[in-house]
Structure 1
């Protein structure tokens, strides 16, 4: 059984697929999130900026934050911002939701993504 699990892990790791380490570091994620603050706030009740406030984003359906004007592409995306979906999105936002307005090109480092997702997961 352990060999099968290890083989599956290696297949995913070498496939080029987005695979954030589930053991992201919250403090490091908060630091990485500084790159996002130009467009997103993350405080409870915080204002939207160019992008929506990300308080409570983990587990939320895409394009459902009240009061934010989402792109037609994001409205049609029908995603749930779970850990796996956030990992893929943060790797390359335009690949997961073509035509969305987010200008950010993504976080290529899996550990940066894991850390940011760990941080976002605390915002509840």
Structure 2
């Protein structure tokens, strides 16, 4: 096998191993996926829109943004101790209505775990 073929084979095997092992989060991909959220949410300032702002959401109790009118389900979840950590965000982004039955969020969820991980990484990178 030639040097060039070995390099190509090595590159392909490396890419396959990264893909299979759940490669590191991709912030640019997270930013692109987050564009789905921007009709209702902002990330760069503390201003509510149709949805509550998401600046500083990681580590924040659910249903706790001042001045935003949440569903009873969301305020109850926060009162019961739900905090938006990676696990809770992952479950919510996969299926909001499954994670918090009765939520008023009208989003069907993300299907891909890589999209979810990338969005969470993007949220973390923009506190």
TM range, smaller chain:
0.7 to 0.9
> Which structure is richer in relative contact order (CA contacts within 8 A, separation 6 or more)?
1
* Whole-angstrom CA distance in 2 between matches of 1:120 and 1:37: 13
Cα deviation, residue 54, structure 1: 0.3
Please identify runs of 4+ aligned residues in structure 1 that moved more than 3 A: none
What corresponds to 1:35 in structure 2?
A: 36
* Whole-angstrom CA distance in 2 between matches of 1:49 and 1:80: 21
What corresponds to 1:8 in structure 2?
A: none
Structure 1 unpaired stretches of 5+: 1-20
What corresponds to 1:61 in structure 2?
A: 61
Cα deviation, residue 94, structure 1: 0.2
CA distances 1:1-22 after superposition (whole Å, capped 9, x unpaired): xxxxxxxxxxxxxxxxxxxx58
Bigger Rg over Cα: 2
SS at match of 1:67: coil
Is the CA contact (8 Å cut-off) linking 1:26 and 1:119 kept in structure 2? yes
- 2:119 is the counterpart of 1:86: no
Structure 2 unpaired stretches of 5+: 1-21
- 2:114 is the counterpart of 1:115: no
TM-score, structure 2 normalization: 0.77
CA distances 1:64-105 after superposition (whole Å, capped 9, x unpaired): 111111110000013100001100110000001000000100
Q: How many residues align?
A: 103
TM-score, structure 1 normalization: 0.79
